[in-house]
Structure 1
Amino acid sequence: MKKHNYEVKVEWTGNEGNGTLDYKSYNRNHTIIANGKYSEINGSSDPSFLGDKTRYNPEDLFLSSISSCHMLWYLHLCSVHKIIVTEYLDHATGIMQETENGSGKFTGVTLHPKVKITSLNMITKANQLHEEANKMCFIANSCNFKIEHKPHTSVA
């Protein structure tokens, strides 16, 4: 079995002079950098946790990881099954539930891919391939909750 290793550097940039003296004395801004990548990602926490709403938070990135991994597998499977996809747009949604102690976890994610293909005869198969893509997706296979799909497929 092949193993793949990944590395990122996460650097906190939110020290406002007093470090983490108390919960409100620092901001949550940080930078995510991976060697050889074109740009860095500016992150923070969700505004509910005193983060900067203009920056990506871990929950955004988690949801986008699920969505993009699914899309990449889906496009691969369509190409294998001779389904020509001309457009793909997903409006993924997720629910994170906070617990009494302040922690939390995602309890569900729904992908809403809008896909355009070239053949009317392939719409049923194109919709079915979302389930197969979910079975293949590395990120989905790492989650402990169900990922639902509500695709809308049309002809370009």
Structure 2
Amino acid sequence: MTHGEHHYNVVVEWTGNQGTGTSGYREYGRDHAIRANSKPEIAGSSDPAFRGDATRWNPEDLFLASISACHQLWYLHLCADAGIRVLSYLDEAHGTMREGPNEGRFAEVVLRPCVVIRAGDDRELAARLHHSAHEKCYIANSVNFPVRCEPTIEWAEA
């Protein structure tokens, strides 16, 4: 693994002009497209609470997904290195955002990964590796609010 500086580029294009641009708060759509290199486009909008389209991804969903996915990828790496064979991983993450008069911010994220490992593998080590994954997660290290992890570790049926 190389250490150093990494750069990321995305394009976010607003597609919500309904003919009059931003002539008024209720006069434009929140739809946008998110692109990066040759990856599939993500259809975005704002949260429905902010006049967005509930069928599209919003920044808050993507932010929470980033934290969860980063933790998962580190966890799988650490388990592979430790000889823990992960057979399935499902995280039902939850984020709490608080809205103030002039701003909003996330107050907390709770990751709830349910991990199934090979029967006989060390469940205690598998649980401890979540702590290490959290310490290594680039996204969790970049936020200014608590990210908690409440894992469940199960053995696969023999």
TM-score by length of 2: 0.95
Equivalent of 2:12 in 3, 10, 15: 10
Number of corresponding residues: 154
Query: Contact 1:111 / 1:149 at 8 angstroms: preserved in 2?
Result: yes
For 1:105 and 1:68, the matched residues in 2 are separated by 20
Report the secondary structure of 1:138's partner residue: coil
For 1:115 and 1:122, the matched residues in 2 are separated by 12
Report the secondary structure of 1:55's partner residue: coil
Deviations 1:20-62, CA, capped at 9 Å, x for gaps: 001000010000000121x100000000000000000000000
Equivalent position amino acid for 1:20 in 2: T
Query: Contact 2:84 / 2:121 at 8 angstroms: preserved in 1?
Result: no
For 1:30 and 1:72, the matched residues in 2 are separated by 28
Shift of 1:77: 0.3
In the TM superposition, 1:1-156 aligns within 5 A as: 2-37=4-39, 39-101=40-102, 103-156=103-156
Report the secondary structure of 1:54's partner residue: coil
Q: Which runs of 5+ in 1 are unaligned?
A: none
Report the secondary structure of 1:45's partner residue: coil
Equivalent position amino acid for 2:68 in 1: S
For 1:57 and 1:135, the matched residues in 2 are separated by 27
Equivalent position amino acid for 2:46 in 1: S
Deviations 1:117-156, CA, capped at 9 Å, x for gaps: 0034411110111110000000000011111011111011
After alignment, is 40-49 or 112-121 more displaced?
112-121
TM-score by length of 1: 0.97
RMSD: 0.8
Equivalent position amino acid for 1:107 in 2: A
Report the secondary structure of 2:74's partner residue: helix
Q: Identical aligned pairs, as a percentage?
A: 53
Deviations 1:66-87, CA, capped at 9 Å, x for gaps: 0000000000000011000000
Query: Contact 1:120 / 1:154 at 8 angstroms: preserved in 2?
Result: no
For 2:4 and 2:151, the matched residues in 1 are separated by 32
Query: Contact 1:87 / 1:116 at 8 angstroms: preserved in 2?
Result: yes
Equivalent position amino acid for 1:29 in 2: D
Report the secondary structure of 1:115's partner residue: strand
For 2:121 and 2:78, the matched residues in 1 are separated by 16
